[in-house]
């Protein structure tokens, strides 16, 4: 006979007082675990929609109120996840079916933050995140005397992109990097509370949590990134040597000595992460095969919406679906004149149910057209897996999500521009034109590799305490000098916090995904080109219009995170290991050319 609840409690209490142990609760059955996970996915969809909506509003309408709303939504998600993780401890040791076991694994590791057990600390964590991102989004430089005119990141980036004047570049660089100093005290506290959340959930620190999300032990993953970096490092070092020599011709060896690092403000980008904007300074063969895609786009009457339509048309040519009508109604394509927004380009499924959007401050130029192809890669990934349970609504690993659009963008090449009518004619293809094109590509792709690795290398060391909070800025520049061969253009102190001037640090977005994406995109591109039957060199392939390549791509996208990433990689490429070989194959002509050019130069730093 089943006892009433109060009688059951009384019986247990009497037994306890009499010295008898209370009855051991029965372990949950497999059916109970599956029911729990089903409810978990339903709850996460609801909370994710609330969080995505709040984050979208905060990013497209920055105020104290929207920051608070986003922090509240983040707090609700953190609190729910924390409780779910505690609940899931009941299932440890149970024999579960592979799908349920994977969902519980992803619940634990697919988080950039985990909540501390203390509710006050959890609330503080979300508020710190919202404040840091708000400071970044509202950041402005109003001149050395503070009397204006005030310029935001977009305007300062225009200087970095276009100017070749040492002093103007230095002014823009130091002006924006002052934003990091405002963020520093918040970040110091953020690290403390975020680490507590990681420890309360069984991880050594926040970096240990991040590295656990790759279907291998954290230490093995760190070794794997170093293995890949060792493969591609010689190509980067050859590029660095050549670029430094060319910049010496412009700015003089007194400012850029042989065997020394390159000053960080000279590389055409606020963070010296990609160097494509200095191509005119380092162009191997002046004027050979030059394609002014920006001018062509303007001549053809492209506006921001037409650029996005062009990007969608690429995916449609592969046999993929049209973007939903709500995409065109709800996206932010241009910078509003009446409010503060985060212009950093991003793609969204706001409600986790095919509510696809992009957020960009689009300018009509080649760079933004390529970025649109990239961001739509995220959206098509979201679209392919949005019917899966919430815990599977992710990339096979986070590098996959970034690599999809990048792989597509590798097909956005001169042949593609001619095919879709952006260019009317192509200049003759010869070895000099090829080297010029590869140089342009390498300044964007290869130059980025150490930066893509080092953002998280730095943060892993901060989270672990290897870089103490008293050395936050010195530790940043030591890593960048070691791998990237760049240095700050003026002396920096611990009053500065230069990593805070990069969006992903105050926004707490893990960054190794971008390093992996720079490698994976070439593996994906090679596999898609083979599927399309292209037999020529990898650098000349475009899969535009090929339905078989689209079918292979969509089959992998539809897996989401339901399988370990080596399975997804194998589904598309036939390989189970991330590898830099395809990248080196793509840039083989340039690497051979750089080796010849650098003979007699003092390379390294």
Average pLDDT over residues 391-404: 95
Residue 263 β-bridge partners: 487
pLDDT at residue 550, as a whole number: 98
How large is the angle between the packed helices 512-531 and 449-464, nearest 10 degrees?
140
Residue range 172-198, pLDDT digits in tens: 999 999 999 999 999 999 999 999 999
Query: 402 catalytic, yes or no?
Result: yes
Strands 356-359, 486-487: pairing is unpaired
pLDDT at residue 13, as a whole number: 39
Average pLDDT over residues 399-403: 94
Give residues with Cβ within 8 angstroms of 393, minimum separation 6: 349, 352, 382, 385, 386, 560, 561
The closest alpha carbon to 52, from 67, 74, 68, belongs to: 74
Indicate if the pLDDT at residue 494 is higher than 50. Answer: yes
Rounded Cα gap, residues 271 and 266, in angstroms: 10
Map residue 195 onto helix, strand or coil.
Answer: helix
Query: 375 catalytic, yes or no?
Result: yes
Tell me how crowded residue 299 is: count the other CB atoms within 10 A of its CB: 11
pLDDT at residue 596, as a whole number: 97
Average pLDDT over residues 418-435: 91
Phi, psi angle pair for 474, to nearest 5°: -60, -40
Average pLDDT over residues 62-74: 93
The closest alpha carbon to 524, from 493, 494, 483, 556, belongs to: 556
Query: 192 catalytic, yes or no?
Result: no
Rounded Cα gap, residues 135 and 442, in angstroms: 33
Give residues with Cβ within 8 angstroms of 494, minimum separation 6: 470, 471, 472, 473, 474
Residue range 199-237, pLDDT digits in tens: 999 999 999 999 999 999 999 999 999 999 999 999 999
pLDDT at residue 23, as a whole number: 61
Exactly one of 177, 240, 265, 378 is catalytic; which is it?
A: 378
The closest alpha carbon to 76, from 40, 44, 118, belongs to: 44
Q: How does DSSP classify residue 497?
A: -
Band of pLDDT at residue 146, cut at 50, 70 and 90: confident
Q: Which helix (H) or strand (E) holds 487?
A: strand 486-487
pLDDT at residue 93, as a whole number: 85
- Name the more confident of 20 and 286: 286
pLDDT at residue 7, as a whole number: 40
Band of pLDDT at residue 22, cut at 50, 70 and 90: low
Residue range 437-449, pLDDT digits in tens: 999 999 999 999 9
Exactly one of 514, 539, 544, 586 is catalytic; which is it?
A: 514
Q: Do the Cβ atoms of 322 and 312 come closer than 8 Å?
A: yes
Strands 356-359, 346-349: pairing is antiparallel
Rounded Cα gap, residues 239 and 274, in angstroms: 12
Average pLDDT over residues 409-424: 94
Map residue 116 onto helix, strand or coil.
Answer: coil
Say whether the peptide bond before residue 149 is cis (omega within 30 degrees of 0): yes
Tell me how crowded residue 4 is: count the other CB atoms within 10 A of its CB: 8
Taking all residues of the chain, what is their mean pLDDT, rounded to a whole number?
Answer: 93
Exactly one of 375, 386, 539, 544 is catalytic; which is it?
A: 375
Query: 514 catalytic, yes or no?
Result: yes
Rounded Cα gap, residues 603 and 542, in angstroms: 35
Q: Do the Cβ atoms of 519 and 496 come closer than 8 Å?
A: no
Indicate if the pLDDT at residue 377 is higher than 70. Answer: yes
Map residue 152 onto helix, strand or coil.
Answer: strand
pLDDT at residue 24, as a whole number: 65
pLDDT at residue 427, as a whole number: 78
Q: 6 burial class (0-12, 13-18, 19+ CB within 10 angstroms)?
A: exposed
Exactly one of 79, 353, 474, 504 is catalytic; which is it?
A: 504
Residues 490, 493, 499, 505, Cα dihedral to 10°: -160
HSE value, Cβ hemisphere, 13 Å, CA-based, for 171: 18
Residue range 521-574, pLDDT digits in tens: 999 999 999 999 999 999 999 999 999 999 999 999 999 999 999 999 999 999
Query: 504 catalytic, yes or no?
Result: yes
Query: 353 catalytic, yes or no?
Result: no
Q: Do the Cβ atoms of 405 and 345 come closer than 8 Å?
A: no
Distances (CA, A) of 350 to 65, 112, 334, 339, 406: 19, 18, 18, 21, 22
Start-end of H helices in 152-217: 153-162, 166-200, 206-211
Q: How does DSSP classify residue 559?
A: T
Query: 119 catalytic, yes or no?
Result: no
Exactly one of 344, 474, 487, 507 is catalytic; which is it?
A: 344
- Name the more confident of 92 and 155: 155
């Amino acid at each position: 006979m089943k006892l009433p609840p109060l009688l059951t409690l009384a019986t247990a209490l009497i037994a306890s007082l009499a010295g008898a142990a209370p009855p051991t609760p029965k372990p949950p059955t497999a059916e109970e675990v599956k029911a729990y996970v089903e409810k978990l996915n339903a709850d996460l969809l609801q909370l994710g929609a609330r969080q995505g909506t709040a984050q979208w509003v905060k990013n497209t309408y920055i105020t104290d109120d929207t920051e608070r709303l986003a922090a509240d939504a983040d707090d609700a998600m953190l609190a729910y996840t924390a409780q779910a993780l505690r609940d899931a401890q009941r299932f440890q040791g149970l024999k579960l079916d592979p799908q349920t076991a994977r969902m519980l694994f992803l619940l634990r590791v697919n988080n950039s933050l985990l909540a501390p057990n203390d509710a006050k600390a959890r609330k503080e964590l979300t508020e710190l995140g919202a404040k840091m991102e708000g400071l970044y989004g509202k950041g402005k430089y109003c001149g050395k005397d503070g009397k204006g005119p005030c310029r935001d990141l977009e305007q300062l980036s225009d200087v970095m992109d276009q100017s070749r004047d040492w002093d103007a570049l230095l002014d823009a660089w130091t002006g924006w990097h002052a934003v990091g100093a405002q963020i520093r005290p918040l970040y110091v506290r953020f690290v403390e509370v975020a680490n507590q959340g990681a420890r309360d959930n069984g991880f050594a620190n926040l970096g240990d949590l991040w590295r656990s999300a790759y279907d291998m032990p954290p230490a093995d993953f760190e070794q794997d990134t170093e293995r890949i970096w060792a493969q591609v490092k010689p190509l980067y070092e050859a590029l660095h040597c050549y670029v430094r020599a060319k910049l010496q011709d412009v700015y003089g060896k007194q400012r850029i000595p042989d065997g020394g690092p390159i000053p960080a403000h000279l590389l055409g980008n606020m963070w010296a992460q990609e160097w494509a904007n200095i191509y005119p300074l380092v162009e191997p063969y002046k004027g050979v095969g030059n394609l002014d895609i920006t001018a062509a786009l303007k001549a053809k009457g492209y506006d921001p919406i037409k650029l996005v339509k062009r990007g969608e048309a690429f995916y449609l040519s592969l046999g993929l679906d049209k973007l939903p009508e709500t995409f065109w109604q709800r996206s932010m394509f241009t910078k509003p004149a009446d409010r503060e927004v985060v212009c950093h380009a991003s793609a969204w499924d706001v409600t986790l149910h095919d509510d696809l959007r992009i957020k960009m401050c689009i300018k009509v130029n080649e760079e933004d057209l390529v970025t649109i192809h990239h961001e739509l890669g995220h959206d098509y990934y979201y679209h392919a897996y949005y019917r899966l349970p919430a815990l599977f609504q992710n990339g096979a690993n986070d590098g996959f999500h970034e690599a999809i659009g990048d792989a597509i963008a590798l097909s956005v090449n001169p042949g593609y521009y001619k095919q879709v009518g952006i260019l009317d004619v192509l200049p003759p293809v010869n070895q000099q034109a090829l080297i010029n094109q590869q140089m342009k590509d390498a300044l964007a792709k290869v130059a980025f590799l150490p930066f893509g690795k080092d953002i998280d290398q730095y943060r892993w060391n901060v989270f672990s305490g290897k870089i103490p909070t008293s050395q936050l800025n010195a530790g940043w520049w030591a890593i960048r000098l070691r791998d990237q061969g760049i240095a700050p253009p003026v002396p920096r102190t611990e009053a500065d916090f230069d990593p805070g001037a990069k969006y992903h640090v105050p926004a707490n977005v893990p960054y190794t995904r971008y390093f992996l994406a720079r490698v994976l995109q070439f593996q994906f591109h090679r596999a898609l080109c083979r599927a399309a039957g292209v037999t020529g060199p990898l650098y000349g392939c475009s899969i535009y219009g090929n339905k078989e390549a689209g079918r292979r791509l969509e089959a992998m996208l539809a897996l989401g995170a339901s399988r370990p990433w080596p399975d997804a990689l194998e589904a598309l490429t036939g390989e189970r290991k991330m590898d830099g070989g395809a990248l080196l194959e793509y840039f083989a002509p340039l690497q051979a050319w750089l080796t010849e050019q650098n003979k007699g130069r003092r390379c390294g730093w």
